[in-house]
Amino acid sequence: MSSDEFLTSQGELSLAPFGPISTNFAIHGIISHPGGVKYDPVIARHRLSLCYLITAKFEIVTRVVKTSLASSGLNRDDIDLHSQHLRSCIDQANKICQDSGLQQAIDMVKMLSYQPRKDSNPFLPAKPRGPAREQQLHVLVEQAQDLARQGLDPDPDKICPFGMDLTSSVFRAKFLGLEDGHDLRSMGKSMGRDEKSHDNWRRNIDLQGERKRQEKLERGVQPSAVDLGKRLTAALEHLSNPAHPNGLKWQMNKEIGLCWRYVQCNTCHKHLLSRNPDQKHCCPSGVDSEPLKVNGNTFPQVQRLLYVHDILGDPSLFSIVPQKALQDLVSRPAKDVLLSNKSKLPPADYESVTSLIWF
The per-residue pLDDT for range 181-211, each reduced to its tens digit, is 776 667 777 777 777 777 777 777 777 766 6
pLDDT of residue 64: 92
Mean pLDDT value across the chain? 76
Is 317 a domain residue? yes
- pLDDT mean over 70-85: 72
**Residue ending a domain, choose from 156, 191, 226:** 191
Q: Quote the number of domains for the chain.
A: 4
Asked which of 118-132, 214-228, 317-331, 334-348 is least confident by mean pLDDT, the reply is 214-228
The per-residue pLDDT for range 244-283, each reduced to its tens digit, is 444 444 344 445 566 788 888 877 777 788 777 677 777 7
* Burial track 163-177 (b if 16+ CB lie within 10 A, e otherwise): bbebbeeebbeebee
The helix (run of H) or strand (run of E) holding residue 187 is: helix 184-191
pLDDT of residue 103: 92
Is 279 a domain residue? yes
Is 93 a domain residue? yes
C-beta separation of 64 from 89 below 8 A:
yes
The helix (run of H) or strand (run of E) holding residue 224 is: none
Return d(Cα 76, Cα 343) in angstroms, integer. 86
Please check whether residues 161 and 211 belong to one and the same domain: no
pLDDT of residue 245: 43
Please check whether residues 32 and 65 belong to one and the same domain: yes
Please check whether residues 257 and 267 belong to one and the same domain: yes
Please check whether residues 252 and 347 belong to one and the same domain: no
Is 82 a domain residue? yes
Among candidates 316, 244, 240, 246, which has minimal Cα distance to 275?
A: 246
Domain that holds residue 151: 123-191
Please check whether residues 44 and 149 belong to one and the same domain: no
pLDDT at 58 over 90: yes
Please check whether residues 89 and 19 belong to one and the same domain: yes
The per-residue pLDDT for range 159-187, each reduced to its tens digit, is 788 777 888 888 888 888 877 777 666 77
Among candidates 22, 31, 95, which has minimal Cα distance to 87?
A: 95
Please check whether residues 10 and 34 belong to one and the same domain: yes
Please check whether residues 230 and 267 belong to one and the same domain: yes
Please check whether residues 42 and 127 belong to one and the same domain: no
Among candidates 59, 134, 145, 66, which has minimal Cα distance to 100?
A: 59
pLDDT at 56 over 50: yes
pLDDT at 224 over 80: no
Helix (H, G, I), strand (E, B) or coil at 272: strand
The per-residue pLDDT for range 83-121, each reduced to its tens digit, is 888 889 999 999 999 999 999 988 888 877 765 444 444
pLDDT at 324 over 90: no
**Residue ending a domain, choose from 191, 218, 251:** 191
Helix (H, G, I), strand (E, B) or coil at 147: helix
Among candidates 274, 260, 266, 295, which has minimal Cα distance to 213?
A: 274
Q: Which residues on neighbouring strands pair with residue 304, listed in sequence order?
A: 261
Is 104 a domain residue? yes
Is 357 a domain residue? yes
Is 118 a domain residue? no
pLDDT of residue 42: 61
Is 176 a domain residue? yes
**Residue ending a domain, choose from 56, 88, 113:** 113
C-beta separation of 82 from 73 below 8 A:
no
Please check whether residues 137 and 172 belong to one and the same domain: yes
Please check whether residues 173 and 211 belong to one and the same domain: no
- Return the percentage of the chain with pLDDT > 90, whole number: 9
DSSP string, 80-119: HHHHHHHHHHHHHHHHHHHHHTHHHHHHHHHHHHT-PPPP
Return d(Cα 65, Cα 14) in angstroms, integer. 14
Please check whether residues 217 and 313 belong to one and the same domain: yes
pLDDT at 226 over 70: no
Regarding pTM above 0.85, the answer is no
